[in-house]
Amino acid sequence: MSGVIAAAHPGSGDSVTLQPANTPEDLRAVLAQLAPDALPTFDAERSAALQQAREQVSAAPMRRFSGQWAVYAAVERHPELAARLRSLEARATTTESLNEARAIAAEIGRIFDVACAEAGIELRTSSPRT
The count of structural domains within the chain is: 1
- 39 lies in some domain: yes
Residue 111: how many other CB atoms lie within 10 Å: 19
- 129 lies in some domain: no
pTM, entire model: 0.80
- 28 lies in some domain: yes
Give Cβ neighbours of residue 15 (< 8 Å, ≥ 6 apart).
6, 7, 8, 9
- 130 lies in some domain: no
- 87 lies in some domain: yes
- Express each pLDDT in 53-96 by its tens digit: 999 999 999 999 999 999 999 999 999 999 999 999 999 999 99
Rounding to the nearest 10 degrees, give the CA dihedral for residues 106, 76, 40, 24: 100
- 11 lies in some domain: yes
- Cβ atoms of 38 and 45 closer than 8 Å: no
Q: For residue 37, give its domain range.
A: 6-119
- 127 lies in some domain: no
Cα separation, 54 vs 50, in Å, equals 6
Residue 11 has pLDDT above 60, yes or no: no
The residue with greater pLDDT, 11 or 47, is: 47
In Å, how far from its chain's centre is CA 74? 5
What's residue 129's pLDDT?
53
Q: Following DSSP, what letter does each residue of 103-124 receive, concatenated?
A: HHHHHHHHHHHHHHHHHTPPPP
- Cβ atoms of 42 and 51 closer than 8 Å: no
- 20 lies in some domain: yes
